[in-house]
Amino acid sequence: MRGAKVSDHLSRFSGWVLDKAAMNGQWSLVARLAEVDIDLEYTGVSRRTVLSLAAEAGEKELVELLLNRGAKIEAKDPDGRITLFYAIGHIGVGDKYSAFQRG
């Protein structure tokens, strides 16, 4: 595309890869992508952030990694649900609060 920066294309592509990996349960790939400078708030086909997908899958360590990398817990899906909604029942009752508390 004329006038578009290469970094803009890479950002969109990496967000797409992140979304696809999360939707397919490829959590090790999600963790590797989260370690680089990537838009953790990207929502693609799933229309949800990778944090909400990881929380729903009960991936506690990945949730902690994503939060430490700056993923926003208050991000909402198209239905207005925040990430904690997806964590309840999927991350242990004692763990869900520690995984989502900061400070």
Q: In the prediction, which pLDDT does 86 show?
A: 81
Sign of the torsion formed by the C-alpha atoms of 11, 16, 22 and 27: negative
Q: In the prediction, which pLDDT does 4 show?
A: 47
- Axis crossing angle, helix 93-100 with helix 60-68, rounded to the nearest 10: 10
Closest CA to 34 of 56, 19, 23: 19
| Whole-structure pTM value | 0.71
**What DSSP state is assigned to residue 48?**
S
Please, how many CA atoms are within 13 Å of residue 51, restricted to the half-sphere of its CB? 26
Q: In the prediction, which pLDDT does 23 show?
A: 83
Q: In CATH, what class is 6-100? A: mainly alpha
Helix (H) or strand (E) holding 21: helix 6-23
Tokens of 95: 């763990």
Below-50 pLDDT ranges, the chain: 1, 3-4, 6, 93-94, 96, 102-103
- Report helix, strand or coil for 102: coil
